[in-house]
Structure 1
Amino acid sequence: MQLPSVFYKYTPSSTACLVLESSRLRWSSPLLFNDISEFQRMPQFYPSVADSYKDLPKAIVDAAYDGKDINEENLVPQVRLLLNLVKKIASDGSKKREDLLEELTGELVSADKNIELALQDYVKNLGLNAARVLCVTSEYDNQAMWGNYAENHTGCVMGFRHIVERSTPLIAATQVSYSAERPVVGSGLDFLLFGNTSELRKRTLHAIFYTKDKSWEYEREWRVITWRRNEAEKQVGDYLFYPEELESVTIGARATSVTEERVRQLISEKYTRASLYRMELHGGKLERKLLICAG
């Protein structure tokens, strides 16, 4: 997926001035986020592992009796062993297909809950207090974001460009996806057949770190995640960014003249590649007016 050319950070006016003065952005642990379910929403299989456990014998018997492709090379050892045994039974005709299916069919009632609990333990053991997340968005004119994160339109939105030559963090930004239900990472049958593959682990971690409930969809969020074990006690980190990363500062429609003057001064002193804008309300719609064009 192509990255937006500019990412935006909504802030109160006091925070914006601190960021501009220090050239540092705050990255926080998800434990401090206003969404209490951050990194706690475990993905699921569909169909579930419990439901798929009933289909596992049929997949094995079909492969043994009918030669249906089952990608034997990638089967987990236990299933491969069982398949070879069923193949032997099929070849010598010692047992009817229907009888074998009945004997192999069983239940794993609590399998999915156990997997969910295991994932929760895994995430807990990662140490979320050491995680550092930078949350940004792709929009500068989102009224809900202005109201919720920029002090009711009195704050600012800072735009940041990513610079490939300098390997700036936003090059690694990943888009957050939103769903009403827990994200699905695969089918339960595939998990039973092939186990915890590298691709499944990748999808699972993405689901935990980069999906949120649909109620947060208005944020249009992208995020960058890193881990700072030596800073776990603080749960936050203020990290330097290059002055040329700052693409723009947009002042809210209700921002004071004091805020505007201070931001003007800081941009002229430190951020010559950044433009200054102000939001204005026209006919009930927010529009952005250019105040200073980047030099």
Structure 2
Amino acid sequence: MNYFKYTTFDTTKLIIKNKTIRWSSPLKFNDIEECQFVPYSRDSFERANREYLEILEKIAKGENIDVDYKKLKPISHTLIAMIRLSIERNTFNSSNMIDDVLNLASNPEADYREYINKGLIRVFRILCVTAKFDNKLMWAHYGDQHYGCVIELSNLYVNKPHGLREGRVDYHENLYPRTNSLDVFLYGETPEIRDLMIQDVIFSKRSIWNYEEEYRLMYSENFGNIKFEHNFQTNEKSLTVSNQTDQLFTDVPISKDFIKSITFGVRVTDEKIMEMKEHLKLNNINCILYKMILNGELLERISL
């Protein structure tokens, strides 16, 4: 599969000169809703929490439950031990326990969104490409209104970034999570659950953006130190982040051989095309050149 990147004329020249392509934090994107979907609602969170605590209670009472006890996260084992002790002392009250836990997590959507926005989004690195060179809206929005170019690339990195995730963006109005909140409570954020959560948060956009037909690649720079504190007496919570990069992008090296073609917008002049040809020659890059033209009402691509 080859990839197409819509960009300005000057940015095209920088990619050719530096042999890099910029992967950016979502903070630099034009969609302010980037990464703002959360993988569960308050209602689903409360339902899963209640079911979770009911399961722990049954395990503590010795009832047979269809869960993998050995894979339960450590806090689950701790809660089971506390419930058993309360039952032995005849002080256990399941309703009070459920209410106490739900009060501690009174706004799970906001808490999760804060975690993403404060702790993660700055270090996310995302590259957005597509599979078409003749998308009219993409030319208008990202190809500098046809004063820019589309670069065709056979690959998007020399060395695969650590923890790379990639795939097509899912466009929708309401997120139907791939994860099960109950599994998160029981087993924690396993690699399998984390992959599904990344798919929900990173690879989801509103339907209004579906014209982009985006293929997305994502990895993370160093997360630094993320510290969460919860005062159980006052129920006050705080999340602080330190030792993260201040830079909101990373220029990832590519090979000159990855550049397969450049397509100029309709409004790119012959002088600008000649300028790009000289620039390609100077940087020892041999690729196919095209130009978009308007043939009546049709947008067509011709070879140069």
Cα distance change on mapping 1:273 and 1:77 into 2, 3 Å: farther
1:203 to 196, 206, 213: 196
- Give the RMSD, CA atoms, in angstroms: 4.0
Alignment of 1:216-295 (within 5 A): 216-221=209-214, 222-227=216-221, 232-270=245-283, 272-282=285-295, 284-291=297-304
Deviation string, structure 1 residues 206-249 (Cα, Å, up to 9, x no partner): 43333222222222221333426899334344444221111111
For 1:212, the equivalent position in structure 2 comes to: 205
TM-score relative to the length of structure 2: 0.71
Structure holding more helix per residue: 1
Normalised by the length of structure 1, the TM-score is 0.73
Q: Which residue of 2 aligns with 1:94?
A: none
Unaligned residue ranges in structure 2 (runs of 5+): 225-242
Q: 1:172 to 1:61 in 2, by over 3 A?
A: closer
In the alignment, the residues of structure 1 paired with residue 123 and residue 181 of structure 2 have an alpha-carbon distance, to the nearest angstrom, of 32
Shift of residue 52, structure 1, vs aligned partner: 2.9
Residue range with higher mean Cα deviation, 251-260 or 262-271: 262-271
Q: State the Cα distance separating 1:182 from its structure 2 match.
A: 3.6
> CA offsets per residue over residues 188-208 of structure 1, 9 Å max, x none?
333333333333233223433
Match of residue 166, structure 2, among 169, 174, 178: 174
Alignment-derived partner of residue 40 in structure 2? 44
Number of corresponding residues: 276
Secondary structure of the residue aligned to 1:280 is strand
Residue pair 1:163, 1:245 contacting (<8 A) in 2 also? yes
> How far apart are residue 153 of structure 1 and its match?
1.6
Q: CA deviation at 1:157?
A: 0.3
Q: Does the 8 A contact of 2:4 with 2:133 survive in 1?
A: yes
Code of the residue aligned with 2:69 in structure 1: it is E
SS of 1:48 mapped into structure 2: helix
Using the TM superposition, name which of 145-154 and 239-248 deviates more.
Answer: 239-248
**Partners of 2:248 and 2:53 in 1: how far apart?**
48
Kindly provide the amino acid, as one letter, of the partner of residue 248 in structure 1: S
Q: Indicate how the Cα distance of structure 1 residues 82 and 290 shifts in structure 2: closer, same or farther if over 3 A, else same.
A: farther
Q: 1:43 to 1:61 in 2, by over 3 A?
A: closer
Q: Deviations over 1:6-38 (max 9, x none)?
A: 111111223223332333333333222111222
TM-fit CA distance, 1:60: 6.4
Partner of 2:19: 23
Q: Contact conserved, 1:24 with 1:238, CA < 8 A, in 2?
A: yes
* Residues 63-102 of structure 1 mapped to structure 2, 5 A cutoff: 67=64, 69-75=66-72, 76-78=76-78, 81=81
Q: CA deviation at 1:146?
A: 0.4
3-state DSSP class of the match of 1:152? helix
Query: Which stretch has the larger CA shift, 212-221 or 120-129?
Result: 120-129
Deviates more, 1:258-267 or 1:194-203: 194-203
| Percent identity of equivalent pairs | 26
Q: CA deviation at 1:278?
A: 1.4
Q: Is the 8 A contact 2:261 2:287 kept in 1?
A: yes
CA contact (8 A) 2:172 2:204 kept: yes
Distance 1:218 1:72, change over 3 A: same
Assess if the C-alpha contact under 8 Å between 2:179 and 2:197 holds in 1.
no
Q: Which residue is 2:2 aligned to?
A: 6
Match of 1:95 in 2: none
Give the Cα–Cα distance (whole angstroms) in 2 for the partners of residues 103 and 237 of structure 1. 50
